[in-house]
Amino acid sequence: MTRYLLRQITLLFFTLLALSLFTFCLSYWFAGSAVTNSSGIFPDDPSYATIATARGFDGGYFGQYIAYLRHLFAGDWGRSLLDGAPVFEQLIVRFGASLEIMLLALLVAWFPGVAFGVLAALKPGRSVDNTILGMSISGYSIPVFWFAQLAILLVAVQWGLTPIAGQINPLFDIPAVTGSILIDIALAQPANPQAAYYSAFMHMILPVTVLAIMPMMLLIRLTRNSMLDVLNKNYIVSSYAKGMSTRRVLWSHALPNAMQQVIRQLSNLISLLIANTFILEVIFSWPGIGNWLVRSIYERDYPVIQGGLLIIGSLILVTHVLLNLFHAWRYPQVRKDLYAAP
């Protein structure tokens, strides 16, 4: 395991390095001064010369790259070209908001996704299976923005059940510290926390549910297929032969083994989730990173684009590696395969 851990961490280190090298190069590939593109300070600003020196622009490319990394680690990610706001501060708050709905959607998707998948696998080819599979395929093929519009028009506008924009009724004065509204409410300790949580919850229902649909449908199919594989294995037959109840066979043998395949696929699912989160943030005015990044691309706000790319790239890489590690730690046979041991 240690060897695998080291290997994964080295891999992560080098990919992150490559990613930072890429974002560093973007400063040169974008139009305009590289100093402005990386720091957000315009050439007519009095502090321009100092900034250029601090970023190593009087030296070679290598020195500049080192200075770039140093600034990254110091939390100085430059300033937005549009409003001069520090990118890093904005990034933290917006990242928190995005992460919040992403994690909640994953949580919402996980349990029904696995449950329906198992249910379908237990009766392959029967009407339960067909219904679930049909639902999952149609659910998977409907684009998320369409779902979102439908949900807004039906649930919010027609039935008047939920709000459609933002994280909370803005009349609650909750300062954005982490960006995650639930944590921010806990930190702000308003006079009526119950009402604030309720408002935040109502604001979350639509984006989280819509966001959860696609991963849920994918999980159903993944679980079903992997479960079908496992159920045909000899050890399942032998468990039944030993007289174990169906429930025990499922819980102790089939499901844990089926999950091995599912977890392996999970990182693809998360990349998909991130892309969908960005779309939904725009539709539901969720003040997350996607909403911001989309606009910065329109506006050619280079420091923001760089920061956004870096943090999203890192998020995907880190979750990928963490899932790999979890996979190897949880399933010894995976490690055996990896080390090509007998």
Partner 1 sequence: MATTKRSLIKTCTAALCLPVLIACAPQSEQEATLGVLYCAEGNPESFNPQLVTSGTTLDMTAAQLYDRLIEYSHKENNYQPALAERWSIDEHGLRYTFYLRDDVQFHTTDWFQPSRPLNANDVVFSFRRWFDPSHPFHSVSGRGYPFFTASGITELIDSMKALDEHTVEIRLKQQDSSFLANLASDFAIILSAEYGHQLLAAGTPELIDQRPIGTGPFQFSDFRKDVLVRYHRHPNYWRELAASEQIVFRITQSDHKRMLMLLTQDCDISPYPPARDVEWLRQKESIELQATVSPNTAFWAFNTERPPFDDPRVRQALAHAIDRDALLRAVYFEHAVRADSILPNTSWAHHPIPDAYRFDPERARELLAEADLADGFSMDIWAIPVQRGYNPNARLMAERMQSDLARIGVRANIVSYEWSTFRRRLAEGLHDSVLIGWSADHADPDNFFRPLLSCRAKESGNNRAQWCDPLFDDLLNAAIRTELMPTRQNFYQQAQEYLAIEVPLLPIAHSVRFQASQADIEGLQLAPFGGIELRRVKHRDTQELRP
Can you give the binding site for partner 1, defined by CB under 8 A? 82-83, 85, 104, 152, 156-157, 160, 162-166, 169-173, 175-176, 182-183, 185-186, 190-192, 194-195, 197-199, 201-203, 285, 287, 291-292, 295, 298-299
Q: Which is nearer to partner 1, 145 or 201 (CB)?
A: 201
To partner 1, the closest distance from the beta carbon of 47 in angstroms equals 14
Residues constituting the chain = 342
CB closer to partner 1, 83 vs 337: 83
Based on CB atoms, which residue is closest to partner 1, 82 or 325? Answer: 82
Q: SS in 3 state form for the chain?
A: CHHHHHHHHHHHHHHHHHHHHHHHHHHHHCCCCHHHHHHCCCCCCCCHHHHHHHCCCCCCHHHHHHHHHHHHHCCCCCECCCCCCEHHHHHHHHHHHHHHHHHHHHHHHHHHHHHHHHHHHHCCCCHHHHHHHHHHHHHHHCCHHHHHHHHHHHHHHHCCCCCCCCCCCCCCCCCCCCCCHHHHHHHHCCCCHHHHHHHHHHHHHHHHHHHHHHHHHHHHHHHHHHHHHHHCCHHHHHHHHCCCCHHHHHHHHHHHHHHHHHHHHHHHHHHHHHHHHHHHHHHCCCCCHHHHHHHHHHHCCHHHHHHHHHHHHHHHHHHHHHHHHHHHHHCHHHHHHHHCCC
Closer residue to partner 1 in complex, CB, 155/338 = 155
Shortest spacing between CB 168 and partner 1, in angstroms: 9
CB of 331: closest distance to partner 1 in angstroms? 28
Please report how close the Cβ of residue 299 comes to partner 1 at its closest, in angstroms.
Answer: 5
CB of 219 to partner 1, least distance (A): 20
C-beta of 226: minimal distance to partner 1 in Å?
28
Give 133 or 181: the residue with its C-beta nearer to partner 1.
Answer: 181
Q: Which is nearer to partner 1, 183 or 237 (CB)?
A: 183
Nearest residue (CB) to partner 1, 128 versus 164: 164
Min separation Cβ 78 and partner 1, Å: 16
